A and B are shown apart, each in its own frame.
Chain A
Amino acid sequence: MPALFMTCREVGAVTIVDLSGKISLGEGSALLRKTIRDLIESGQTKILLNLGDINYIDSSGIGELVSGFTAVRNRNGELKLLNLTKKVHDLLQITKLFTVFDVYTDEGTAVRSYL
């Protein structure tokens, strides 16, 4: 059974990726990397990762979020985060990445922030 599930949907010009499961070393990290890469290749550079159902993330997963953030930014786009669970929130806090990512608790507010 895959560790990570993802579905993409469009809201205006923003691509929202709904994720559930684990972003960790192996399949989860690889799938996230491929999804972000594919979105960038198809010209989508306003990406919102909905992490509301992510119950686990390790250092490999954190690295993948940072990698995606940088890759999108290098294409003059923005990768933002929505709905952090407490565990993910705490990890981003102690790794100081909370100061790097734009993080939202409301989808509408997040989507409007790209305008």
Chain B
Amino acid sequence: MTPEAKHLEVILDTHVESVNLAEEMCLRVAEAVGFSEDECYRIGMSVREGVINAFHYGNQEKPDKKIHLALDLTQEKMIIHVMDEGKGFRLADVPDPLAEENLLSTSGRGIFLMKAFMDEFDVVAGRTGGAEIIMSKKIPAPGSASGNGNHGKSNSDAAPQQEA
């Protein structure tokens, strides 16, 4: 970590309200760092999905387990860690929500959204015994146009709305 790097860590209850709390906390940091409104939305959504994953799949909504949220700010990027106390999972085992057979699935899109909205994304074995989601977003240079919300991997902005 560089001397300028900052670290923030909170332990959250396995509760629905923790999802909103984590999102709000990271949104405030992202805004303070200088991300655009669109990028803040994508970061907030990714944190939300990461904590939902920890709450529902990792900790299986068990109130005796905790969700560990950590945030590292370097000069280059904002790095977010979400750890649960579950059994862990392998990214390769997560079904593709875009596969024809999964399109009508009512769940399983959180990982996909985090991968789409962040610059880097990975899942590793966490020190808490469960899964650790690590995702990052490059911090825009001061005064640059890089905070214009076009960093996501989605190319949907150019798509016209379909009329059935």
**Which positions in A face B, CB cutoff 8 Å?**
24-26, 58-60, 62-64, 66-67, 69-70, 80, 84, 87, 89-91, 93-100, 102-106, 109, 113
**Given contacts A66-B106, A80-B164, A95-B97, is CB(A60)–CB(B156) below 8 Å?**
no
CB atoms of B103 and A100 under 8 A apart: yes
A91: chain B residues at CB < 8 Å are: 113
**Given contacts A25-B16, A58-B45, A87-B41, is CB(A109)–CB(B98) below 8 Å?**
no
B110: chain A residues at CB < 8 Å are: 59
B161: chain A residues at CB < 8 Å are: 84, 89, 103, 105
CB atoms of A63 and B109 under 8 A apart: yes
Closest to A100 in B: B103
Closest to B44 in A: A56
Interface residues of B in 32-88 (CB under 8 A from A): 41, 45, 48-49, 52
B104 at the A interface (CB under 8 A): yes
CB atoms of A59 and B107 under 8 A apart: yes
CB atoms of B52 and A25 under 8 A apart: yes
30 contacts between A and B (CB under 8 A): A24-B48, A25-B19, A26-B16, A58-B52, A59-B52, A59-B110, A59-B113, A63-B105, A63-B107, A63-B109, A67-B106, A70-B106, A87-B41, A89-B156, A89-B161, A90-B156, A90-B157, A91-B113, A93-B156, A94-B156, A95-B97, A95-B98, A95-B109, A100-B103, A103-B162, A103-B163, A104-B163, A106-B163, A109-B163, A113-B164
